[in-house]
Protein backbone atom coordinates (compact mmCIF):
# COMPACT_ATOMS: atom_id res chain seq x y z
CA UNK A 1 0.00 0.00 0.00
CA UNK A 2 2.85 2.41 0.77
CA UNK A 3 3.64 2.26 -2.97
CA UNK A 4 0.47 4.25 -3.70
CA UNK A 5 1.05 6.92 -1.05
CA UNK A 6 0.42 10.31 -2.57
CA UNK A 7 -2.18 9.02 -5.04
CA UNK A 8 -5.95 9.25 -4.69
CA UNK A 9 -6.07 5.47 -4.84
CA UNK A 10 -4.20 5.26 -1.55
CA UNK A 11 -6.67 7.54 0.23
CA UNK A 12 -9.64 5.73 -1.36
CA UNK A 13 -8.48 2.25 -0.40
CA UNK A 14 -7.24 3.08 3.10
CA UNK A 15 -9.80 5.73 4.11
CA UNK A 16 -6.98 8.05 5.09
CA UNK A 17 -7.15 11.84 5.07
CA UNK A 18 -7.29 12.87 1.37
CA UNK A 19 -4.93 15.79 1.93
CA UNK A 20 -2.02 14.45 4.02
CA UNK A 21 -2.84 10.72 4.00
CA UNK A 22 -1.23 10.35 7.42
CA UNK A 23 -4.21 9.07 9.35
CA UNK A 24 -7.64 7.50 8.94
CA UNK A 25 -10.72 9.71 8.57
CA UNK A 26 -12.71 7.12 10.49
CA UNK A 27 -12.85 6.57 14.23
CA UNK A 28 -13.23 2.83 13.64
CA UNK A 29 -11.15 1.29 10.87
CA UNK A 30 -13.29 -1.87 10.62
CA UNK A 31 -16.42 -1.00 8.55
CA UNK A 32 -18.24 -4.11 9.86
CA UNK A 33 -18.71 -2.57 13.29
CA UNK A 34 -21.99 -1.16 12.00
CA UNK A 35 -22.74 1.15 14.93
CA UNK A 36 -19.51 3.03 14.14
CA UNK A 37 -19.69 2.78 10.35
CA UNK A 38 -20.41 6.48 9.85
CA UNK A 39 -18.33 7.83 12.75
CA UNK A 40 -15.68 10.11 11.36
CA UNK A 41 -13.22 12.51 12.90
CA UNK A 42 -14.26 16.11 12.33
CA UNK A 43 -10.78 17.21 11.36
CA UNK A 44 -7.51 15.57 10.50
CA UNK A 45 -5.25 15.88 13.55
CA UNK A 46 -2.23 15.83 11.28
CA UNK A 47 -3.06 18.61 8.77
CA UNK A 48 -6.28 20.09 10.14
CA UNK A 49 -8.41 19.35 7.07
CA UNK A 50 -12.12 19.50 7.83
CA UNK A 51 -13.68 16.40 6.26
CA UNK A 52 -17.29 17.49 6.26
CA UNK A 53 -16.89 20.49 3.95
CA UNK A 54 -20.53 21.49 4.38
CA UNK A 55 -23.57 20.05 6.20
CA UNK A 56 -24.76 16.76 4.66
CA UNK A 57 -21.63 16.69 2.50
CA UNK A 58 -21.49 12.90 2.54
CA UNK A 59 -25.01 12.48 1.16
CA UNK A 60 -23.29 13.02 -2.18
CA UNK A 61 -21.46 9.74 -1.64
CA UNK A 62 -24.75 8.01 -2.47
CA UNK A 63 -24.23 8.97 -6.12
CA UNK A 64 -20.90 7.17 -5.97
CA UNK A 65 -22.22 4.08 -4.19
CA UNK A 66 -24.54 3.26 -7.11
CA UNK A 67 -21.83 2.69 -9.75
CA UNK A 68 -19.58 1.02 -7.14
CA UNK A 69 -22.41 -1.40 -6.32
CA UNK A 70 -22.95 -2.04 -10.04
CA UNK A 71 -19.27 -2.87 -10.48
CA UNK A 72 -19.33 -5.37 -7.58
CA UNK A 73 -22.58 -6.88 -8.85
CA UNK A 74 -21.12 -7.12 -12.35
CA UNK A 75 -18.06 -8.98 -11.08
CA UNK A 76 -20.27 -11.40 -9.11
CA UNK A 77 -22.45 -11.94 -12.20
CA UNK A 78 -19.43 -12.75 -14.40
CA UNK A 79 -17.99 -15.14 -11.82
CA UNK A 80 -21.23 -16.95 -11.00
CA UNK A 81 -23.05 -16.98 -14.35
CA UNK A 82 -20.26 -16.95 -16.92
CA UNK A 83 -17.30 -18.61 -15.15
CA UNK A 84 -19.09 -21.04 -12.80
CA UNK A 85 -22.05 -21.55 -15.19
CA UNK A 86 -24.67 -21.31 -12.42
CA UNK A 87 -28.36 -20.69 -13.15
CA UNK A 88 -29.74 -17.14 -13.34
CA UNK A 89 -31.70 -17.62 -10.11
CA UNK A 90 -28.63 -18.80 -8.19
CA UNK A 91 -26.61 -15.95 -9.68
CA UNK A 92 -29.26 -13.46 -8.56
CA UNK A 93 -29.26 -14.85 -5.01
CA UNK A 94 -25.45 -14.69 -4.89
CA UNK A 95 -25.52 -11.04 -6.03
CA UNK A 96 -28.11 -10.10 -3.38
CA UNK A 97 -26.08 -11.81 -0.63
CA UNK A 98 -22.92 -10.15 -1.92
CA UNK A 99 -24.54 -6.70 -1.88
CA UNK A 100 -25.72 -7.14 1.70
CA UNK A 101 -22.35 -8.44 2.89
CA UNK A 102 -20.36 -5.76 1.05
CA UNK A 103 -22.62 -2.84 1.96
CA UNK A 104 -20.34 -1.45 4.71
CA UNK A 105 -17.33 -1.65 2.38
CA UNK A 106 -19.26 0.02 -0.45
CA UNK A 107 -20.41 2.81 1.87
CA UNK A 108 -16.86 3.49 3.05
CA UNK A 109 -15.41 3.30 -0.47
CA UNK A 110 -18.07 5.72 -1.74
CA UNK A 111 -17.27 8.25 0.97
CA UNK A 112 -13.56 7.95 0.26
CA UNK A 113 -14.08 8.43 -3.49
CA UNK A 114 -16.54 11.30 -2.93
CA UNK A 115 -14.20 13.29 -0.67
CA UNK A 116 -11.34 12.69 -3.10
CA UNK A 117 -13.31 14.49 -5.82
CA UNK A 118 -12.98 17.67 -3.77
CA UNK A 119 -9.59 17.39 -2.07
CA UNK A 120 -6.12 16.72 -3.37
CA UNK A 121 -3.01 15.31 -1.78
CA UNK A 122 -0.44 17.80 -0.52
CA UNK A 123 2.90 16.63 0.74
CA UNK A 124 3.24 17.73 4.34
CA UNK A 125 6.29 16.98 6.45
CA UNK A 126 5.47 14.88 9.51
CA UNK A 127 6.03 16.72 12.78
Q: Min. distance of Cβ 113 from Zn ion in angstroms?
A: 17
CA distance 67 to 49: 27
Nearer to Zn ion, 53 or 96 (CB): 53
Q: Min. distance of Cβ 114 from Zn ion in angstroms?
A: 16
CA distance 84 to 34: 32
Instruction: Look at residue 86 and give its three-state secondary structure.
Output: coil
Nearer to Zn ion, 1 or 100 (CB): 1
CA distance 65 to 102: 11
Q: Min. distance of Cβ 20 from Zn ion in angstroms?
A: 3
Nearer to Zn ion, 17 or 76 (CB): 17
Q: Min. distance of Cβ 31 from Zn ion in angstroms?
A: 20
Nearer to Zn ion, 27 or 71 (CB): 27
Which spans of this chain sit near Zn ion (rule: CB under 5 A)?
17, 19-20, 44, 46-47, 49
Secondary structure element (H or E) that encloses residue 93, with its range: helix 88-118
DSSP 45: T
Amino acid sequence: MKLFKGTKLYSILTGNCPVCQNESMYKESNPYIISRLFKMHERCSSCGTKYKIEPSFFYGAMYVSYPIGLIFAGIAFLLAYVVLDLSLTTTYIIIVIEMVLLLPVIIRLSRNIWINFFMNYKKIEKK
